[in-house]
Homo-oligomer: A and B are copies of this chain.
Amino acid sequence: MKLLRVDMNSRQVRWEDVPEIYQHLGGRALIARLLLEEIPPTCDALGPHNKLIFTPGLLGGAGVTTAGRLSVGGKSPLTRGVKEANAGGTGGDILGKLGIKAIVIEGQADSGELYLLHVGIDTAELLEANDLKGLGTYATADRLQSKYGADCTVFSIGQAGESLMTGAGIASTGEHEQRSNHAARGGLGAVMGSKNLKAIVIDKPTGKSVQFANAELFLQAMRTYAGKLVNDPKLGKQGTQHLYGTASIVAAVNEMGSMPTRNFSNGNFESSADLRGEHLRELILAREGKVGTRCMPGCVIACRNQLVDEKGMPIVGTLQYETIALIGSNLGIGNLDDVARLNFMCNDFGLDTIETGAALGVALEAGLVQFGDVEGIIALLNQVGEGTPLGRVIGCGAVTTGQVLGIRRVPATLGQAMPGYDPRSLKGNGVTYATSPQGADHTAGNAFGARNQVNPLGIQGQKELSLKLQIIAAMLDSTGLCLFSRPPIIADPQLMVDMLNGIYGWNWTKDDLDHFNRDVLRTELEFNRRAGITVADYRIPEYMCEEPLAPHNVVFDVPESDLDSVFETL
C-alpha cells in the first residue's frame, strides 16, 4: 500500500511507501498516530500545519460487509484535539481497492484559489477548480460526476467548509447517485476549506482488488461474520435496524427521557411518535420512496432510506436518528418532512446536522425564532448558506452561537455539540462525552444499547461501561465497520483477528487486537494532552450538573473522580 501526500503549498502530489509506523494502522488508528507524529499539537487547526487525512479502515476494499466506512481526520477546529469522523458511501471501499492507505492533504494554497484532487489508478493530480466556488455538495458531486464519470467517488465541501465555518463536514458520494454520506463531526470541512481544496474525485478502481496474504483464512472468517449479521434478529431481514435504520430508537430514547427537546431543556418530546422510524418507513412506503437500501457496497443490513415528498420527489436520504433528534425534537419540530428539508439543506451547505441542530437550538433559546417555527428555522439555516454574519455564527456551531448570543445553556463538551442523548438521563453517554478524546460523539462509546445492563439514570457502572464501549468504538472506527455491525465481533473478536490476519498476513491474537484498540485511545489522549486540553475542557456543562431534566428530574451527577479515572485501566 502507499500514502498519497498532497502539498497544497507547492500544489505537488507525491506517492510514498507506507512508513513502518503506519503499516499496521488504518482509519481512526492511523489518523491518531499520524497527528501525533506529524502535526504540532498546538498548531492552528485552520492553519498550514494541520493535515487532513482520508483513510479507509483496515478492512477497506476487502469486501467485508458493512465495513467500508471512510475515515477523515485532522486536528479539529472545534475541539482543538484529535478528530476522526467517518462516513458511508464508496470511499472506504475504493481507497482500499486502490491500495491507498491514506491521502494526506498538507499545507495551504493561496487564499482565493480553489483546487480539486483527481485520483486514478496510480495517478493523482491537483487541478484548479475555481468554477466550483460557492457550490453546494450536491451540485459539486453532480458536476464532477458528469465530468469524471457517474461511477467515480467524490468527497467535497459545501459553502460552509469553503467559508471555514467550524460546523462544516465533508460529503461523500456512494452507489446509485448517493450524495449524502457525511464525515460530519468536528469541523473537518473547515479544515478542507482552509487548505483551499474543494473536492477529491477518485476513479472507480476497475480491476483492482485487495491482495490477500491468506485468502482462505480471511474468507472463512468473513463469511461467518456476514452470516451472523444476516441471522441477527435486530439486523436481519425482519430486524428493526434493517427496517427502520437508526431511527428505530426514537421511541426508546424518548421513553428513557433522553431525547433532546427544545435545546436540551426536556428529555421527552410530545410529538416524538411522529418522528419514529416506524412512521418514517410507513411514510416512505406510502409515497413509493426507498427503504432497505445500502450506504456502502455489499452491506447486508441495508438500513438506508430515502424520504420522498407527496409527489414522489426525493427530499433527503438517509434520514437518521441523530438528525431527527437535533434538527427535530431539539428544535421543537415534530414532522419528518420538515426535518428532511432541513437535513437536505445542511447536507447541501456541507454542515454537520448535529452541530448545526444544536447551534440552532441555542439560537432559538435566544429568541431569534420560536421553537417549532419551521419556516423561521429554514430562514435561519438559509443564512448559513448565504454566509450572513448570523449564518456564520450558527455555522460555527453551538459553542460559538452561545457565546455570541449570550446563552449559557449550550449542550457541548470539548467545544463540540452533543448528539441525540441527554447525558443527564443516559449517564453512560455523559461519561463518554466528558472523557472521549473525540469529544461528544455518539459513535465514541454509546451506552444506549446497554440500557438494560446498566441503569442509565444511575451512576454505578457508568465509567466501566463507557471505557468498554470506547475501546470497541476505537476498533470499529479503525477497521471501517459500521456501529450496527458490531455484535458478532464483540461476541467473537477472533473473527476480526482472522480477517485482519487473512488480509495482511499478520499473526495477531485477540490480545493484540485489544492492545491495538486501546492504543488508539492512548494515542489520541496523548495528542490532546500535548494540544493543551485538560479535564476542564472535557467536562459536562455546568447547567447540566445543576438543572434537573424532565421527566426524570435528574442532573448529570457522575462524580468527577469517576470521570478522571475512566482511563486508569486503559
A residues neighboring B (CB under 8 Å): 41-44, 46-47, 49, 80, 163-166, 190, 194, 388-390, 392-393, 396, 400, 403-406, 408, 531-537, 539, 541-543
Using CB atoms, name the residue of chain B closest to A390: B389
Asked if A541 and B44 make an inter-chain contact with CB atoms under 8 angstroms apart, the answer reads yes
Asked if B539 and A42 make an inter-chain contact with CB atoms under 8 angstroms apart, the answer reads yes
Cα(A542)–Cα(B388), bound, Å: 28
Decide yes or no: A406 and B163 within 8 Å by CB, A42-B539, A47-B542, A542-B44 being known contacts: yes
Please give, as numbers and ranges, the residues of chain B lying within 8 Å of A44 by CB-CB distance. 408, 541-543
- 20 pairs from A and B in contact (CB 8 Å cutoff): A42-B536, A43-B542, A44-B408, A44-B542, A46-B406, A47-B408, A49-B542, A80-B536, A164-B406, A165-B406, A194-B408, A389-B389, A389-B393, A392-B404, A396-B404, A400-B400, A400-B403, A532-B536, A532-B537, A533-B534
Please give, as numbers and ranges, the residues of chain B lying within 8 Å of A80 by CB-CB distance. 536
Please give, as numbers and ranges, the residues of chain B lying within 8 Å of A393 by CB-CB distance. 389, 393, 404
Q: A165-B406, A389-B404, A532-B535 are in contact. List 18 more A-B contacts (CB 8 A).
A: A42-B536, A44-B408, A44-B542, A46-B406, A46-B408, A47-B542, A80-B536, A163-B406, A166-B403, A389-B389, A392-B404, A392-B405, A393-B404, A396-B403, A400-B400, A404-B404, A533-B534, A533-B536
Please give, as numbers and ranges, the residues of chain B lying within 8 Å of A534 by CB-CB distance. 532-534
Q: How far is the CB of A559 from chain B (nearest CB, A)?
A: 14
Cα(A400)–Cα(B534), bound, Å: 21
Please give, as numbers and ranges, the residues of chain B lying within 8 Å of A190 by CB-CB distance. 406
Decide yes or no: A536 and B531 within 8 Å by CB, A166-B403, A408-B46 being known contacts: yes
Please give, as numbers and ranges, the residues of chain B lying within 8 Å of A537 by CB-CB distance. 532
Please give, as numbers and ranges, the residues of chain B lying within 8 Å of A400 by CB-CB distance. 400, 403-404
Please give, as numbers and ranges, the residues of chain B lying within 8 Å of A166 by CB-CB distance. 403
Please give, as numbers and ranges, the residues of chain B lying within 8 Å of A532 by CB-CB distance. 534-537
Cα(A396)–Cα(B388), bound, Å: 17
Q: How far is the CB of A36 from chain B (nearest CB, A)?
A: 15
The 9 A-B residue pairs with the shortest CB-CB distance in the complex, in nearest-first order: A532-B536, A164-B406, A389-B390, A532-B534, A42-B536, A44-B542, A389-B389, A392-B404, A47-B542
Among A164, A389, A541, which residue has the most Cβ atoms of chain B within 10 A? A389
Cα(A43)–Cα(B400), bound, Å: 18
Among A42, A166, A541, which residue has the most Cβ atoms of chain B within 10 A? A42
Cα(A164)–Cα(B410), bound, Å: 15
Cα(A534)–Cα(B531), bound, Å: 9
Using CB atoms, name the residue of chain B closest to A46: B408
Please give, as numbers and ranges, the residues of chain B lying within 8 Å of A404 by CB-CB distance. 389, 392-393, 396, 400, 404
